Structure 1
Amino acid sequence: MVLCAVAAIGAVAIVLVPATSPETSRGDTGLVSVVVNHGRTVELGPAETRTVAVEVTASDRSGIRAVDPIGLWGPNYGALKVGPMSCVPLDAAGTTARCSGEAVIAAGSRALFDDQAGTWFVDLRIRAADGDRYVSKNAAGFSLKRTAGFDLASVVPARAAVGGAVTVRGRLRRADWDRDAEVPQQGTTAYLQFRPAGSSTWSTLASTGTDADGLLSLNVPVRGPGAFQWYAPGDKWTGGALSEVLPLRVDAPESHPGR
């Protein structure tokens, strides 16, 4: 397997493109597991750089010598290098080892583009002490997504009477890696949730879609005090988002002496 360097990005990241190779696995070398970012989705904001852990567990009767080379590749020729892997035996016989390294993923300086969000894969070669090897271009997959977030969230009026109505607004934006900025996320469904005062449970009241400016607005009846929040679940390319909590105060009913 050969990983061909094609560009150096900034001072820390080197972009690699997996090259076609006739190399195949041989012997009893086996892959036990591959974990990227501790099994969690990697989400990057505009111009953000993150260092993520890459962990490979492998076995061979003769012991594991190294995991090299190893890289990450994704949609539209996305490719990243994983730094040197350090291997530690997990059993007394030394037949199973866990090898750990790190990858630097940068959304700034045009190192990563919007159309490269989605499912990424680990391309690796595991080398055993006796010359055996395990080779895979799809050893494991993980999600790399653009961050999303709400702003301009409000409830108007913030104080109302039972039986009245309030308008809850917000704006949904997401990272634009191409422009190193946050931009409106249009045509996306978001859910308005409510939590009654004294409760810890949120329930969904309604859903609506964002307009061309990422704006949301819903009119809802007032049934009691509590708080609202907006929720967008995200998708394969964009992370989920929660707005700030928006308290709603409710006026006590007017008293009518003599009734």
Structure 2
Amino acid sequence: MRRRAVVAGAVAAVGALAVVLVPATAPESSSGDTELLSVSVDGGRTVELGAAETRTVTVEVTARDDSGIRSVDPVGLWGPNYAALKVGRMVCTPLGPDGTTARCRGEATVAATARALFDDQAGSWFVDLRIRANDGDRYLSKNAAGFSLKRTARLDLAAAPARAAAGGAVTVRARLQRADWDDNSEIPQQGAVAYLQFRPAGGDTWTTLAATTADATGTLALSVPARTSGTYQWYAPGDKWTTSALSPPLPVEVDGAGAHPGQ
């Protein structure tokens, strides 16, 4: 609402002026044989941004035209709730001796502390671009590719007893937090699901023992039978808006022979 009202008012004002001062024009469209071959943001990875973090991500566009590619400009990155990021100058390098295909690269700065991003703008983003060929052909797309921009999550305060008696119980705890872009801090991720996993001593396979949800303080706690020595960890898979998180490993030595706690 904070941006929608401002943007809607601005659009209405600009539209009113356009009716009076500027004749209607047809929207620009693609023409000729220019082809978009690929688009990637940050190498195709999810862009993960912490509470007080600034990152530079690479935007790469590969395109083709029989006359060669002159430029890729402008390029815009757009997200939920009117979010937008500016991509700097794209530098194009021909690929192959005939020069018909080029790879163009530019950079965008993603900052949580500049009041340019808010919590409700995490999620699915898209790339808007225009490609110009040397012979005047062009290619336009309002949604050339998609990528994810997520708030980082963190599992801290992980704890478990160093030793336990066979047949007893092991209580494993941690706290799940995520980045708050609005206030540049970390906040509890209340209601998020996390899984307690176990790997027996000498083994290399993790088994999920149980799942639980974080409480109002982000706290996770589960008690499981102490049956054999091994290592525990917490895993939170994240969601469309938040990254996954993994706790530090928590080794527990069990006195006396036993079986896997998941058996």
TM-score, length basis structure 1? 0.88
Q: How much has 1:71 moved relative to structure 2? A: 1.1
Matched, 1:189 2:193: yes
CA-based RMSD: 1.2
Asked if 1:63 is matched to 2:74, the reply is no
> Which residue of the other structure, out of 203, 206, 209, is the alignment partner of 1:205?
209
Equivalent residue, structure 2, for 1:241: 245
Superposed displacement of residue 80, structure 1: 0.6
Query: In the aligned structure 1, how far is the partner of 2:28 from the partner of 2:234?
Result: 50
Cα distance between partner residues in 2 of 1:23 and 1:182: 44
2:159 corresponds, among 154, 163, 178, to: 154
CA distance in 1, matches of 2:175, 2:237: 15
Secondary structure, counterpart of 2:92 in structure 1: strand
Question: Which amino acid in the other structure matches residue 190 of structure 2?
Answer: Q
Shift of 1:163: 1.1
The one-letter amino acid of 2:256's match is: A
C-alpha displacement of 1:109: 2.5
Q: 1:60-102, CA deviations, whole angstroms, 9 ceiling, x for partnerless residues?
A: 0110000011110000000011110110111211111000111
Partner of 1:28: 33
Match of 1:84 among 65, 80, 89: 89
More helix by percentage: 2
Shift of 1:223: 1.3
1:180 matches 2:184: yes
Q: 2:39 and 2:111 mapped to 1: Cα distance?
A: 22
- Matched residues in 1 for 2:199 and 2:27: separation? 58
Distance in 1 separating the partners of 2:34 and 2:112: 35
Superposed, 1:1-259 pairs within 5 Å as 22-155=27-160, 157-252=161-256
Point out 4+ residue stretches in structure 1 off by more than 2 angstroms.
none
Matches of 1:231 and 1:250, distance apart in 2: 22
Q: Distance in 1 between matches of 2:206 and 2:28?
A: 53
Tell me, in whole angstroms, the C-alpha distance in 1 between the residues paired with 2:52 and 2:156: 19
Size of the alignment, in residue pairs? 233
Where does residue 18 of structure 1 map in the other structure? none
8 A Cα contact 1:47 1:109, kept in partner: no
Unaligned runs of 5+ residues in structure 2 are 1-5, 7-25, 258-263
Residue deviations 1:134-181 (CA, integer Å, cap 9, x gap): 0011000000000000111111x3211221101111110000000000
Once residues 166 and 222 of structure 1 are traced to their aligned partners in structure 2, the CA distance between those partners, rounded to angstroms, is: 6
Q: CA deviation at 1:252?
A: 3.5
Q: Distance in 2 between matches of 1:243 and 1:88?
A: 43
CA distance in 2 between partners of 1:111 and 1:98 (Å) = 29
Q: For structure 1, which runs of at least 5 residues remain unmatched after alignment?
A: 1-5, 7-20, 254-259
Distance (whole Å) between structure 1 residues aligned to residue 126 and residue 113 of structure 2 = 21
Cα distance in 2 for residues equivalent to 1:126 and 1:109: 30
Displacement of 1:206 in angstroms is: 0.2
Q: Could you say which residue in structure 2 is the equivalent of 1:9?
A: none
Q: Which has the higher strand share?
A: 1
Partner AA of 1:68 in structure 2: D
